[in-house]
Amino acid sequence: AQSVTQLGSHVSVSEGALVLLRCNYSSSVPPYLFWYVQYPNQGLQLLLKYTSAATLVKGINGFEAEFKKSETSFHLTKPSAHMSDAAEYFCAVSASGRNKLIFGTGTLLAVQP
Amino acid sequence: DSGVTQTPKHLITATGQRVTLRCSPRSGDLSVYWYQQSLDQGLQFLIQYYNGEERAKGNILERFSAQQFPDLHSELNLSSLELGDSALYFCASSVGGLAGGSETQYFGPGTRLLVL
């Protein structure tokens, strides 16, 4: 069975500070990992995904994530937070041959001026 | 804009009723997925259709059913509605969806269902 755990349901950072959103996964087979962002009253938008190519994945809006197999982690980072980054972020996992996404519980990011 | 459209945006109905949610995938996408987002269950996969055929099933209740039509749009039917069915229902689409797992799923804006 596959699962993801997002540590911290709420994260607050100051504008310009580092953003770090944590995601740990559990999978018996090599996983595909995704980060999605959900702005208020909108659908989910893909930020980035890991598909077993490079372990450091760069996404949109300056976000990146590093796949660490030894730590079963796929944390999302951004060097400098903007007010527009305030949203809910979801980590998700799928496996080869299985197209359903299994989502974490989400992390609500607040950016303080 | 993901290119996935969902109607209606909002739906208010009473317990025991039946509703139909509609989804049009991105042009060229063959797979459609349905997800439910609720406060207590989070985001949960319900069902996937590929080119008109059911492909994968998740935590979908027997009171819920879906189908994908020849023009690739999909409908999710919810019947005998209960208060606990109140949620945001998302549709997503991807290009293929047969044996991937790595494909990007593009999400629509969702239909917010409120059961009173």
Contact B10, B87 (CB under 8 A): no
Chain A residues closer than 8 Å to B48 by CB: 99-100
pLDDT at B16: 97
Segment among A78-87, A94-103, B50-59 with least mean pLDDT: A94-103
Residue type at B18 in one-letter notation: R
Under an 8 A CB cutoff, do A95 and B56 touch? no
Chain B residues closer than 8 Å to A42 by CB: 109-110
Measured CA distances, A43 to A71, B40, B84, B92 (Å): 30, 18, 21, 9
Contact B90, A90 (CB under 8 A): no
If you write DSSP's letter for every residue of A58-79 in order, what string do you get?
A: E-GGG-EEEEETTTTEEEEEES
DSSP-assigned beta bridge partners for residue B49: B32, B54
The answer to whether residue A82 neighbours chain B at the CB level (below 8 Å) is no
pLDDT at B1: 84
pLDDT digits (tens, 9 = 90+) for A35-53: 999 998 889 999 999 988 7
Residue B67 distance to chain A (closest CA, Å): 17
Q: Are strands B10-13 and B111-115 parallel, antiparallel or unpaired?
A: parallel
Q: Establish how many alpha carbons lie within 13 A of residue A15's alpha carbon, considering only the half-sphere containing its beta carbon.
A: 5
Residues 84-103 of B with CB under 8 A from A: 90, 92, 94, 97, 99-103
Task: For an interface test with B, give the residue of A44, A45, A90 to mutate (most B CBs within 10 A).
Answer: A44
Contact A102, B46 (CB under 8 A): no
pLDDT digits (tens, 9 = 90+) for A6-36: 999 999 999 999 999 999 999 878 889 999 9
How many other CB atoms sit within 10 Å of the CB of residue A46?
17
